[in-house]
Amino acid sequence: MENRSQLLKNIPNVTDCLKVLGQSELLDAVPLSRLKHCTRLYLDSYRKAVLCGDSEALPLRGRDGLMAGLIAFVRAYNKPRLSRVINATGVIVHTNLGRSRLPVAAGDTLVMASQHYSNLEYNLSTGRRGSRYDSVTDVLCELTGAEDALVVNNNAAAVLIALETLAKEREVIVSRGQLVEIGGSFRIPDVMRASGARLVEVGTTNRTHLRDYHEAISERTALLLRVHSSNFRIIGFTSEVANNELVQLGREHAIPVMEDLGSGCLIDLARFGLAREPTVREVVASGMDIVTFSGDKLLGGPQAGILLGKRQFIDQIKKNPLNRALRIDKFTLAALESVLRLYLDEEQALRDIPTLAMITEPAEEVARRATRCLIRLQEQHPTACRFELLPVESRVGGGAMPEQAIASWAVAIQPETMKIQLLEESLRQAPTPVIGRVEEDRLLLDMRTVVEDEIELLAESLAAALSVET
């Protein structure tokens, strides 16, 4: 490395840098205060690289190289952190990529709620204050057969407030095989501890019987809890207590029974060849006093935690002071109501809710879209890459149906000169980032999660990625 003292001496000051930045039309929209902040960050980083002898961390040598690096840094720093990406992973409810896409109708409702006043907590009939939950309570009860409903900000919150309300400083009985951990280190025992409820485990990891619950019931028992296994399955020598048996046991001892569905579904998807999952209506009909599930998984709506069940218990939960801390905002309510209304017509829901449409789309349709994408990419890059269509398996994701594979088709890309890892990285850095998966030295773009109007964007991103110097 050049003499460190000389490199340090050649670093321009902030004022000189700002003069150069002011001449760049690309940065006209960046406020002066932000330019100063970015410049100081960049020069500090450069100075540390010099002092540490990290030549790879330094931009191109010379003043011109340093200023070019500064301009690139400022542009990157001022891009919105939350940006659109193309999900080509084949995971439909992708937790890291925003989970479920909202229907167009929900997007329109969000725009209305954001740009105009609304009757969020105002009853237009009486002219008095109303409840923010009125917009979703009726339709939730209509769709599920529940007596009452409440919505909070996510399903973990729904479980927390239910436990805190009904079982604080008392015991909750749960099958040992249902004490799961899902994404983000969300653990059922931890949530129970935070609620003040005392966990009582029964049965074994793979087998729990009705007698296990019966023997654990005492005067301290406040709740019987059933938890969906999410993305975890035990197979083989297993046994779990059926809902109706658990409900009957609760009735005999005057103890409420609650089920955390995790990802609740309002439509039976078994007719599309998917694994049988009980619908929310079926779980409510089984007699469960409280049912909780997410709004942004199989439901296909915004992030929310939905509580359904017997009015006497929902009323208690509504009065919990935590409800204020966990309540959802007007944007979530607007989007959720719009999505729920689509379910009033099952065929419309299957057609217009992106999550359901992707799950149920025939593989033949995916193949046709993959073919169109392949042709477009081959036309654009006839020699830079080898392209082919491959049959693959997509996943539902989001902790739902962990064993369910969905037949799909992918466009496989194998660059001629660029390393596959660099292509994958460059696509992530493209103007519209593309997230695929690498298998056997090929980049797979699963077209089940790529919609028609994204094909051209994908082609543009691939062109940008292939232009990166190796």
Cα–Cα distance list, 230 to 135, 212, 293, 397 (Å)? 29, 23, 11, 10
At the topology level, CATH places domain 86-95+358-466 in Aspartate Aminotransferase, domain 1 (3.90.1150)
Q: What is the DSSP string of 266-294?
A: SS-GGGGTPPP---HHHHHHTT-SEEEEE
Sheet strand arrangement including 221-227: 148-152, 305-309, 290-294, 257-262, 221-227, 171-175, 198-202
SS3 assignment, position 89 = coil
pLDDT digits (tens, 9 = 90+) for 337-394: 999 999 999 999 999 999 999 999 999 999 999 999 999 999 998 888 999 999 999 9
Over residues 234-248, the mean pLDDT reads 83
pLDDT at 237: 73
Identify the weakest region by mean pLDDT among 202-211, 234-243, 317-326, 352-361: 234-243
Q: In angstroms, rounded to a whole number, what is the distance separating the alpha carbons of residues 289 and 257?
A: 5
Q: Quick one: tokens of 106? A: 């929900």
Residue 238 has pLDDT above 80, yes or no: no
DSSP letter, residue 196? T
Residue 115 has pLDDT above 60, yes or no: yes
Residue linked to tokens 């209305």: 112
Q: In angstroms, rounded to a whole number, what is the distance separating the alpha carbons of residues 152 and 138?
A: 16
Across all residues in the chain, what is the average pLDDT? 90
Angle (nearest 5°) at CA 335 between 290 and 153 = 45
Over residues 265-290, the mean pLDDT reads 92
pLDDT digits (tens, 9 = 90+) for 406-418: 999 999 999 998 9
Identify the weakest region by mean pLDDT among 47-51, 268-272, 460-464: 47-51
Write b or e for each residue in 277-300: b if 16 or more Cβ atoms lie within 10 A of its Cβ, otherwise e: bbbbbebbebbbbbbbbbbbbbbb
pLDDT digits (tens, 9 = 90+) for 433-470: 999 999 999 999 999 999 999 999 999 999 999 987 65
Residue 281 has pLDDT above 90, yes or no: yes
Angle (nearest 5°) at CA 308 between 305 and 312 = 125
| Among the listed residues 383, 344, 257, 307, the one whose alpha carbon sits nearest the alpha carbon of residue 149 | 307
Q: In angstroms, rounded to a whole number, what is the distance separating the alpha carbons of residues 296 and 97?
A: 12
pLDDT digits (tens, 9 = 90+) for 129-141: 999 998 899 999 9
Residue linked to tokens 């094909």: 455
Residue 310 has pLDDT above 90, yes or no: yes
Residue 294 near residue 306 (C-beta atoms within 8 A) = yes
Q: In angstroms, rounded to a whole number, what is the distance separating the alpha carbons of residues 415 and 402?
A: 32
Return phi, psi of residue 172, to 5°: -125, 125
Residue 293 has pLDDT above 70, yes or no: yes
Q: What is the DSSP string of 210-246?
A: HHHHHHH--TTEEEEEEE--TT----SS-B---HHHH
Residue 229 has pLDDT above 80, yes or no: no
Return phi, psi of residue 123, to 5°: -85, 110
* CATH tag for 104-352 (out of 3.40.630.30, 3.30.70.580, 3.40.640.10, 3.40.50.300): 3.40.640.10
Q: In angstroms, rounded to a whole number, what is the distance separating the alpha carbons of residues 431 and 73?
A: 15
pLDDT at 25: 82
| Among the listed residues 57, 41, 74, the one whose alpha carbon sits nearest the alpha carbon of residue 7 | 57
DSSP letter, residue 55? G
Same fold, 86-95+358-466 and 104-352: no
pLDDT digits (tens, 9 = 90+) for 141-193: 999 999 999 999 999 999 999 999 999 999 999 998 877 776 656 678 888 88
> Can you give the residue ranges of every domain in the chain?
4-77, 86-95+358-466, 104-352
